[in-house]
């Protein structure tokens, strides 16, 4: 079930201009003579003089006790006057006690520290006098200036978009006229659409010059339903200083019409009710052309419902085929796709062949051409390729895909061509390939690298990234890795696989075996002297070993913050050498004294050499 939301910003141009003219810095601190009598905190001036204090040093009433001041005694209501008031107008009991005003809640969030050094007090934003005048935006159309937008005050005075500026000046003398900036309005809408893609829905599109389309299919439940999503969106725009209305329907055309002509800030239409909901709306709600609206006015058609009983042939002949299409799109008879905003355009190059190809030499030649085109695109955008997908379309419509990745961002054409030609054998050309496309789904910024110019002593270390890519193409990406250290005391958690080009760091100072078993393996027939001696004899994997030398113990405690079972867990590790020369790394569970630390069983965990 398709659900589309249409966001309408009626005062976008005016409110965007107002937002751009807001002061970027907080207002300056008021002079002492203009500051309120009971300031919250004086501005710190950098010296030891605290300034004027609202509380007299020689005694007197505190500022909060307004009822105790002499000028307030005469205005204090008496008990008789309070009893004479209705019950809903009487002051609460907390105001009739020792304090005359209600006290703040003890757990209420503290206000910001407005008296901190170097900070000015936060005052309400001043009202800009320029916006108290009726404001309009104009644009040059032919030989005259035409109104493109008007503020609410100008609309109340009878000014409308499309009116000639000279006529507007004649109607309103004190008129503030500004130049319209449609490019900046479009840029702001594009930014809002990108924000919607990142935070609200994966599919968003700019609808004209005053709104957005949001595809909410399968996404509204993430915000608690469609009603809560609409409220959240309107509050977000209100904080930015924009007036908006939103409508949700099953088709983009119906949502667009209801958001602009529905008369409500939030309108949610149930599925299947689009035709009935837009029936009483004017014809302009269908986004018809000016010629179609003029023809409708000539025939006396005012509402969308007037078009329902008309035959399709005469309707298309008199009003145009676009009118029929818009009507069917609004009612859901014809689909209306939403062209989404793409936050990042994936680099893509394509070659369509005049004749199908099927040999490895011909495919390799086309691959070289595609790589050259892709390198040009990457150079223009300052990017390097990390992953690529080659799509070969056969004459029977089936696609053959091969993909590869690189260890480091690159745009070397020889290296990329070699990586693709190594995988040509995986392509089944069938009856022939008629189109080939190279896409880079993963890219990274590739900045210029300084060559040094002979000023650096010594040879530059060789770049092993091309070698890693070639080896990974033969043995697979999972076959190449390095071992890196992790922040953990438990040995099996202290190491992990990292990238081939990553630099391992943070190795512990304690000696660790070259080979660490994936899981510790339990030993059998262990003979050891408790609590601090290595074993004298043990059995492992069906073979008995006699220990001739040992070192330890190295005590490792469990990580109690991971799971409660490791609260008292203890391991005592020993490095031992057998008669045959093998050196092992084994441990005992428990400290040999306290029973909760372990069951005194022995395990093999690693091998030296």
- Residue 595 has φ and ψ, to the nearest 5°, of -65, -35
Cα–Cα distance measured from residue 282 to residue 285, given in angstroms and rounded to the nearest whole number? 6
Cα–Cα distance measured from residue 392 to residue 379, given in angstroms and rounded to the nearest whole number? 24
Is pLDDT larger for residue 46 or for residue 532?
532
| Mean pLDDT (whole number) for 432-453 | 82
User: Closest Cα partner for 4 from 278, 341, 276, 269?
Assistant: 269
As to burial, measured by CB atoms within 10 angstroms (0-12 exposed, 13-18 middle, 19+ buried), residue 100 is: middle
The answer on pLDDT for 126 being more than 50 is: no
As a whole-number percent, the residues of the chain with pLDDT over 70 amount to: 79
| Mean pLDDT (whole number) for 547-569 | 88
> What pLDDT does 120 receive?
40
What residues contact residue 126 under an 8 Å CB cut-off, 6+ apart?
27
Cα–Cα distance measured from residue 93 to residue 4, given in angstroms and rounded to the nearest whole number? 52
The answer on pLDDT for 566 being more than 50 is: yes
Cα–Cα distance measured from residue 543 to residue 18, given in angstroms and rounded to the nearest whole number? 84
Which pair of structure tokens corresponds to residue 197? 């893609």
> What pLDDT does 246 receive?
95
User: Closest Cα partner for 437 from 537, 533, 326, 346?
Assistant: 346
The answer on pLDDT for 33 being more than 60 is: no
Cα–Cα distance measured from residue 149 to residue 133, given in angstroms and rounded to the nearest whole number? 14
Is pLDDT larger for residue 492 or for residue 76?
492
Cα–Cα distance measured from residue 278 to residue 303, given in angstroms and rounded to the nearest whole number? 9
Is pLDDT larger for residue 366 or for residue 96?
366
Query: How high is the mean pLDDT of the chain?
Result: 81
Pairing of strands 515-522, 602-608: antiparallel
Is pLDDT larger for residue 306 or for residue 497?
306
> What pLDDT does 81 receive?
74
pLDDT tens digits, residue range 59-82?
Answer: 444 444 444 444 444 455 667 777
> What pLDDT does 80 receive?
74
Could you tell me the pLDDT band of residue 452, with boundaries at 50, 70 and 90? Answer: low
| Mean pLDDT (whole number) for 36-53 | 41
C-alpha separations of 95 from 90, 99, 103, 187, 465 in Å: 10, 6, 9, 53, 76
Could you tell me the pLDDT band of residue 594, with boundaries at 50, 70 and 90? Answer: confident
Q: How many helices (H) and strands (E) does the chain have?
A: 15, 21
Could you tell me the pLDDT band of residue 92, with boundaries at 50, 70 and 90? Answer: low
Q: Which residue has the tokens 């890795």?
A: 481
Cα–Cα distance measured from residue 388 to residue 402, given in angstroms and rounded to the nearest whole number? 8
Q: What angle do CA 436, 437, 443 make, to 5 degrees?
A: 155
> What pLDDT does 451 receive?
56
Pairing of strands 495-498, 482-485: antiparallel
> Which of 85-99, 167-181, 389-403 is the least confident region?
85-99
pTM over 0.75: no
Phi-psi category of 608—alpha, beta or left, where left has phi over 0 and alpha has psi -120 to 50?
beta
> What pLDDT does 26 receive?
55
DSSP run (H or E) holding 604: strand 602-608
Cα–Cα distance measured from residue 91 to residue 95, given in angstroms and rounded to the nearest whole number? 6
As a whole-number percent, the residues of the chain with pLDDT over 90 amount to: 40
> What pLDDT does 23 receive?
65
| Mean pLDDT (whole number) for 250-269 | 93
What letter does residue 283 receive in the DSSP assignment?
A: G
Could you tell me the pLDDT band of residue 507, with boundaries at 50, 70 and 90? Answer: low
The answer on pLDDT for 115 being more than 60 is: no
Is pLDDT larger for residue 255 or for residue 53?
255
> Which of 254-263, 381-390, 439-448 is the least confident region?
439-448
| Mean pLDDT (whole number) for 535-558 | 92
Cα–Cα distance measured from residue 577 to residue 584, given in angstroms and rounded to the nearest whole number? 6
Cα–Cα distance measured from residue 580 to residue 561, given in angstroms and rounded to the nearest whole number? 41
User: Closest Cα partner for 205 from 217, 223, 190?
Assistant: 190
The answer on pLDDT for 348 being more than 50 is: yes
Bond before 553 cis per omega within 30 degrees: yes
> What pLDDT does 516 receive?
87
* Helices marked H in 320-389: 321-331, 360-381
> What pLDDT does 43 receive?
38
The answer on pLDDT for 485 being more than 70 is: yes
Could you tell me the pLDDT band of residue 142, with boundaries at 50, 70 and 90? Answer: confident
> What pLDDT does 341 receive?
87
Strand partners, 204: 214
> What pLDDT does 83 receive?
74
The answer on pLDDT for 218 being more than 60 is: yes
**Residue 510 contacts residue 494 (beta carbons within 8 Å):** no
Cα–Cα distance measured from residue 266 to residue 232, given in angstroms and rounded to the nearest whole number? 11
The answer on pLDDT for 247 being more than 60 is: yes
pLDDT tens digits, residue range 265-303?
Answer: 999 999 889 999 999 999 999 999 989 999 989 888 889
What letter does residue 441 receive in the DSSP assignment?
A: E
């Amino acid at each position: 079930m398709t659900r589309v939301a249409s966001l309408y910003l009626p005062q976008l141009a005016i409110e965007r201009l107002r937002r751009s003219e807001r002061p970027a810095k907080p207002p300056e601190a008021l002079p002492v003579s203009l500051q309120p009598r009971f300031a919250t905190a004086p501005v710190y001036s950098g010296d030891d003089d605290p300034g004027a204090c609202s509380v007299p040093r020689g005694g007197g009433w505190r500022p909060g006790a307004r009822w105790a001041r002499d000028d307030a005694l005469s205005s204090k209501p008496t008990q008789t006057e309070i009893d004479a008031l209705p019950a809903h107008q009487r002051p609460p009991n907390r105001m009739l006690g020792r304090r005359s005003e209600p006290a703040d809640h003890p757990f209420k969030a503290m206000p910001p520290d407005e008296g901190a050094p170097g900070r000015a007090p936060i005052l309400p934003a001043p009202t800009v006098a320029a916006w108290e005048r009726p404001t309009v935006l104009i644009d040059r159309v032919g030989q005259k200036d035409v109104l493109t937008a008007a503020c609410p005050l100008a609309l109340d005075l009878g000014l409308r978009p499309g009116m000639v500026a000279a006529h507007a000046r004649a109607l309103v003398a004190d008129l503030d006229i500004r130049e319209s900036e449609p490019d900046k309005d479009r840029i702001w809408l594009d930014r809002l659409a990108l924000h919607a893609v990142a935070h609200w829905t994966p599919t968003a599109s700019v609808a004209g010059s005053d709104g957005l389309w949001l595809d909410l299919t399968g996404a509204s439940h993430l915000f608690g339903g469609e009603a809560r999503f609409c409220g959240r969106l309107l509050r977000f725009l209100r904080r930015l200083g924009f007036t908006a209305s939103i409508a949700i329907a099953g088709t983009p055309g119906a949502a667009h019409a209801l958001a602009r002509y529905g008369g409500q800030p939030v309108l949610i239409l149930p599925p299947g009710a689009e035709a009935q909901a837009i029936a009483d709306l004017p014809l302009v709600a269908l986004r018809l052309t000016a010629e179609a609206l003029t023809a409708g006015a000539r025939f006396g058609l005012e509402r969308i419902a007037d078009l329902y009983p008309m035959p399709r042939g005469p309707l298309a002949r008199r009003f145009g085929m676009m009118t029929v299409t818009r009507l069917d799109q609004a009612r859901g008879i014809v689909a209306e796709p939403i062209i989404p905003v793409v936050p990042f355009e994936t680099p893509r190059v394509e070659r369509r062949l005049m004749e199908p190809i099927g040999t490895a030499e011909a495919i390799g030649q086309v691959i070289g051409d595609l790589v050259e085109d892709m390198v040009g695109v990457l150079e223009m955008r300052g990017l390097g390729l990390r992953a690529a997908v080659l799509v070969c379309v056969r004459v029977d419509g089936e696609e053959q895909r091969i993909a590869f990745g690189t260890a480091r961002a690159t745009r070397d054409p020889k290296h990329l061509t070699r990586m693709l030609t190594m995988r040509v054998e995986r392509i089944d050309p069938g009856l022939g390939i008629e189109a080939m496309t190279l896409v880079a789904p993963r890219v990274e910024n590739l900045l210029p690298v300084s060559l040094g110019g002979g000023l650096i002593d010594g040879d530059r270390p060789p770049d092993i990234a091309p070698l890693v890519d070639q080896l990974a193409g033969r043995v697979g990406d999972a076959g190449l890795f390095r071992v890196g250290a992790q922040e953990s005391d438990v040995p099996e958690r202290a190491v992990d696989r990292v990238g081939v080009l990553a630099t391992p760091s943070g190795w512990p100072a304690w000696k660790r075996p070259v080979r660490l078993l994936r899981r510790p393996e339990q030993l059998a027939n262990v003979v050891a002297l408790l609590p601090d001696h290595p074993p004298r004899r043990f059995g492992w994997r069906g073979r008995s070993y006699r220990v001739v030398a040992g070192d330890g113990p190295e005590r490792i405690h469990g990580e109690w913050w991971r799971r409660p079972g490791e609260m008292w867990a203890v391991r005592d590790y020993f490095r031992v050498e057998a008669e045959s020369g093998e050196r092992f790394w084994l441990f005992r569970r428990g400290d040999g004294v306290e029973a909760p630390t372990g069951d005194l069983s022995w395990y093999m965990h690693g091998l030296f050499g």
